[in-house]
Amino acid sequence: MAGSASGADNRRHNRTRATDTPIMPDHAIPTPLLADRLRTHAGELLRLATPVIISRAGLVVMMAVDTAIVGRYSAQELAYYGLAHLPANLLVTTGVGLMMGVVAVTAHALGAGQDAECGRIWRRAIPYALLLGILFALASLAGEPFFRLTGQSADLAAGGGQVMAVLGYGMPGMMLYVATGFFLEGLKRPVPGMVAMILGNLLNALLAWMLVWGHGGFPALGAVGSAWATTAVRWGMGLGLVLYAWHMSDHARWAVRDPVRDWWSGSRKQRHLGYAAGVSLGVESGAFATLGLFAGMISPLALGAYTVGLNLTALPFMAAVGLASATAVRVGVAYGRRDPLDMALAGWTGLGVTSLILAGVGVLYRWVPGPLAAIYSADPELIAAVAPLIAFTAWVLVADGGQVVMANALRGRGDAWVPTALHFISYAVVMIPVSALLAFGLDRGARGLFEGILIASVVSVTILSLRFALLSRPRPAKAEGH
């Protein structure tokens, strides 16, 4: 009996070495010790999330700047811009999900000491990224007929289709940036991708200002000008990051210049790891794009208002994305130690911290919706339409941010496809029909679309949280000696 007790103590100690905090049964944890562990989780969560937030937020900031520049140029041009970005964002988001296997497999190879394999992973990812980019570019050429089929007016379909086609030309460059950025993150080198994003945002703002308004000797191109700016910047970011990886001082260590002939068959694992994330992100992004098409069916003004409202929702959502990634890491570490209590604490801490941060942003949105709307447009009619939506998004932020955290907490626990299925239920089965009913059946217009987003997000965070609570319950220990 004494030997059995000693063995149990040793196993318990080994399971908790990473935090130097002894594991006790749930009922035996003193409140001060529990508080210490919560503080540890919150601190580590914020430390891990900060660089991810900065790098991911750059994508949304670029859109926010373009939205403001185009919106202040013309409300009609903003409608073209917003319509084109609905399917364009769906393609980019899906591509990001499909490439997520690159960072995971690179990190695995790095941890296993297989340095040369890291470079081979990147070399296999490059043709895959270009293939996706070319397919996305071809799909972007069908914008105008697609918009006509979805009930948009002839003018909106033509204007949005032209903007979407130009955005398509930059898709291969964007996928190169994503693939190489994920490769460098897998090597624990996120700074080059972050620097490229910061420089890209500065260049995009300058180019958009010149091309949209016609400064610097350029003709005023409106929304199409912002699309050309984005396309040029995406190619610059993609090629710039590829050149950085190619010329790294230790490129020989990673074998980044060694050719690979099995780029398709050899990339099977990294492609398969990205399928679940790609489907999940694609479903969610596609649902939001469908709501944008609904807005266009209401009126160009409603589409402009939806575009601004969704952009202001996406900006703080990037903080949730960073916190969600960090939550997945913290949950994954605890899951690897077979520590159900710490796993639960990591997940719920992620949800709590994210909710507090987004609630603070929501207070700002409720307090000054008018001035925020004025950043995006000088049109009094558009400002009047947008301001109530901004105030309402205060309620959306917490639920929408919470659901992405809980989805990542589940993935950190190794639960990949169930969160994807739950996303489908929440956003395809619930959000689309409910939003259509509110917007058209109950004649609530663009506000009804955001009410549908709120309902779907509440459903999503609820069922994902229940799933996490179920999986993180401590299991009864097996009796020893039997």
Listed residue (171, 189, 177) closest to 240, CA to CA = 177
pLDDT band at 15, cuts 50/70/90?
very low
> pTM, whole model, 2 decimals?
0.74
Listed residue (167, 424, 392, 385) closest to 281, CA to CA = 424
Predicted confidence (pLDDT) per residue in 119-144, tens digit: 999 999 999 999 999 999 999 999 99
Query: Residue 446 is which amino acid?
Result: A
CB 48 within 8 A of CB 355: no
For the chain, the distance separating the N- and C-terminal CA atoms, rounded to the nearest angstrom, is 12
CB 368 within 8 A of CB 426: no
CA–CA dist 135, 207 (Å, integer): 26
Q: What is the pLDDT of residue 32?
A: 54
Arithmetic mean of pLDDT, 454-472: 95
Which one-letter DSSP state was computed for residue 428? Answer: I
For 203, what's the count of Cα atoms within 13 Å in the CB-facing half-sphere? 16
Q: Could you count the other beta carbons within 10 Å of the beta carbon of residue 241?
A: 25
Listed residue (460, 467, 340) closest to 402, CA to CA = 460
Please list, in sequence order, all residues whose beta carbon lies within 8 angstroms of the beta carbon of residue 224, skipping any fewer than 6 positions away.
Answer: 80, 162, 163, 166
CA–CA dist 162, 106 (Å, integer): 38
DSSP per-residue codes, 170-225: THHHHHHHHHHHHHHHHTT--HHHHHHHHHHHHHHHHHHHHHHHT-TT----THHH
Judge residue 131's burial from the number of C-beta atoms within 10 Å of its C-beta, 0-12 exposed, 13-18 middle, 19 or more buried. middle
pLDDT band at 460, cuts 50/70/90?
very high
Mean pLDDT, the chain, integer: 86
**Tokens found for residue 97:** 């999900």
Arithmetic mean of pLDDT, 62-68: 90
Q: Cα separations (Å) of 340 from 15, 48, 54, 70, 166? A: 11, 21, 31, 50, 50
CA geometry: angle 83, 388, 57, nearest 5 deg: 55
Report percent pLDDT > 70 for the chain: 89
pLDDT band at 276, cuts 50/70/90?
confident
Listed residue (402, 407, 435) closest to 421, CA to CA = 407
CA–CA dist 278, 273 (Å, integer): 9
**Tokens found for residue 128:** 């895959």
Place of tokens 């000088």: 378
Residue of higher predicted confidence among 30 and 151: 151
Q: Cα separations (Å) of 408 from 105, 173, 272? A: 18, 27, 17
Buried b (16+ CB within 10 A) or exposed e, 412-448: bbebeebbbebbbebbbebbbebbbebbeeeebbbbb
Arithmetic mean of pLDDT, 281-302: 91
Q: What is the pLDDT of residue 351?
A: 95
